A and B are shown apart, each in its own frame.
Chain A
Amino acid sequence: MEKENLFLNEVKTSAIPYGISGMPQSNELNCSFFNPSWENSVDQSDPFESALSSMVSSPTASNANGSGSNGENVVLRELIGRLGSICNSGEISPQQPYSINGNNSANTSCYSTPLNSPPKLNLSMMENQQIRGNLQIPGSHFPSLPSLAPFSSDPGFAERAARFSCFANKSLVGLNEVAPKLDSGKISRVSSNQSIKISGSHPMAVQESKDGGLQEAGISASDKKFSRLSRSSTPENVEFGDSRENSSVSEQIPGGEIVMNPQVDANSRKRKSIPKGKGKETPAAVATTPKDANVASENSESSAKRSKSEDGSANEKDAAKTKADNTNQKQSKDNSKPPEPPKDYIHVRARRGQATDAHSLAERVRREKISERMKVLQDLVPGCNKVTGKAVMLDEIINYVQSLQRQVEFLSMKLATVNPRMDFNMEALMSKDMFQSRGSLPHNMYPSDSYPFQSQPNLHTAIPSASEAPFPANNFNSALGRNQTMQLPPMDNFSETASQVSTFWEDDLHSVVQMGFSQNQTQNFHGILPTAQMKVEL
Chain B
Amino acid sequence: MKIAKNPHTNPTSIKTRFALRFLRAINKLSNDNGTSPRPLNSADRRKRCRAIRAASYASMASAVGPNKAWSRAVLRKIRNRTKEMIKPRTRRGAARGSMNPRKELGLGQEKELRELVPGGEAMDFRRLLNETGHYIQCLRAQVQVMRKILHYSST
Contact = CB atoms under 8 A, between A and B. Distances in A.
Q: Do chains A and B interact in one complex?
A: yes
Nearest to B17: A525
Interface string B71-105: 00000000000000001010000000000000011
Interface stretch (A61-69, A89-97, A114-122, A452-460): A452-460
A429 B50 CA distance: 21
Contacts of A422: 26-27, 30, 153
Interface in B123-149: 125-126, 129-130, 132-144, 146-149
Contacts of A390: 104-105
B109 A395 contact: yes
A463 B89 CA distance: 29
B40 to A, nearest CB: 8
Contact of A381 (B19, B46, B50, B136): B136
Contacts of B117: 401
Chain B contact residues, majority secondary structure: helix
Interface size class of B (residues with CB under 8 A): 35 or more
Contact of B19 (A366, A408, A420, A429): A429
A394 B113 contact: yes
A426 B109 CA distance: 41
Contacts of B17: 525
A414 interface: yes
A388 interface: no
Contacts of A522: 12, 16
A373 interface: yes
Given A452-B10, A453-B137, A408 B148 contact: no
B140 A412 contact: no
B154 interface: yes
A423 B152 CA distance: 11
A452 B5 CA distance: 11
B1 A450 contact: yes
A415 interface: yes
B42 to A, nearest CB: 11
Contact of A412 (B56, B116, B132): B56
Interface in B12-49: 12-17, 19, 23, 26-27, 30, 33, 37-39, 45-46, 48-49
B65 to A, nearest CB: 11
B74 to A, nearest CB: 12
Given A373-B133, A428-B152, A366 B89 contact: no
Contacts of B49: 409, 412-413, 415-416
A416 B48 contact: yes
Given A391-B105, A415-B146, A467-B151, A408 B53 contact: yes
A408 B139 contact: yes
Nearest to A523: B16
Contact of B11 (A395, A414, A444, A466): A444
Nearest to A363: B100
Given A401-B117, A432-B152, A453 B143 contact: no
A406 to B, nearest CB: 10
Interface string A278-307: 000000000000000000000000000000
A522 B17 CA distance: 10
A42 B48 CA distance: 89
Given A409-B87, A451-B3, 5 more contacts: A395-B109, A397-B113, A411-B150, A432-B148, A452-B14
11 contacts: A370-B126, A370-B129, A381-B136, A398-B109, A405-B116, A408-B53, A408-B142, A416-B48, A423-B27, A453-B140, A466-B148
Closest 8 CB pairs of A and B: A373-B129, A412-B53, A404-B139, A416-B49, A428-B152, A411-B146, A412-B52, A416-B48
